[in-house]
Structure formats: C-alpha cells, structure tokens
Amino acid sequence: MNTINNLTIQQLRNAADLKEKIASLQKQLSQLLGGGSVAAVAAPKRKMSAAAIAKIRAAQKRRWAKVKGTAATAKPKAAKKSSGKMSAAAKAAVSARMKAYWAARKAAKK
C-alpha cells in the first residue's frame, strides 16, 4: 500500500473525493436507519457494582505495589455468602402462605 508521501497529486485528489463520497453515503445511511451513526450502534453499557469496582481497584493497587517493590496490602477476604438456606421461621411463613394460597385456589374451583 502506498504511503501518503509517495502518492501523486491526482491520487491524493481521488482519495479525498472517495472519502467525501463515503462520508455522504454514511450520512444517508444513518438518516435511513433513524438518525444514529453506523459506528454508534453498539451494545448498551453495563454498570459495574461498587463491590466489583473495589475488587478491581484493590487488585490494581497490588499489581502496582509489586512493580514498585513496595509492600502490598493484603487481599481482602470476601464477605461470607449465605448458603441459601432459609431459617425455620422463614420456612414456616412460606409454608403457611402457600397452604392458604392452595386452599383458596381449591375453594375457587368448587
């Protein structure tokens, strides 16, 4: 591929004309598609949680501490996640609600 320094004046003019045509075609296309530019069509951004940002920040600090040779802060322990088990009181409450729901449903059918 030719570098810009090796192009003749005629080739440069042709390149500029092509660029203008491409720009006008992209503008027409964006107008047909509803206003947004073709390059702007992308997946929506996702928001990171504060905890995820904190983890990334702490990991980066540890990496830089390693590069600089300074003492790195200890990796924070993750908070304990619940095991997913319900307490006895919660189970009893759910059971009572479901019994009432099914009793009302059964009565509505009769």
Q: What is the mean pLDDT of each run of 10 residues along the chain (110 residues)?
A: 76 90 91 67 81 94 87 62 82 96 93
Q: What is the pLDDT of residue 72?
A: 57
Q: What is the pLDDT of residue 52?
A: 94
The one-character DSSP state at 84 is S
Q: What is the pLDDT of residue 31?
A: 87
CB 54 within 8 A of CB 73: no
* Average pLDDT, rounded, for the chain: 84
Q: What is the pLDDT of residue 89?
A: 94
Say which residue the tokens 């296309």 belong to.
29
pTM across the whole model: 0.29
Can you tell me the distance from the alpha carbon of 42 to that of 63, in angstroms, rounded to the nearest whole number? 32
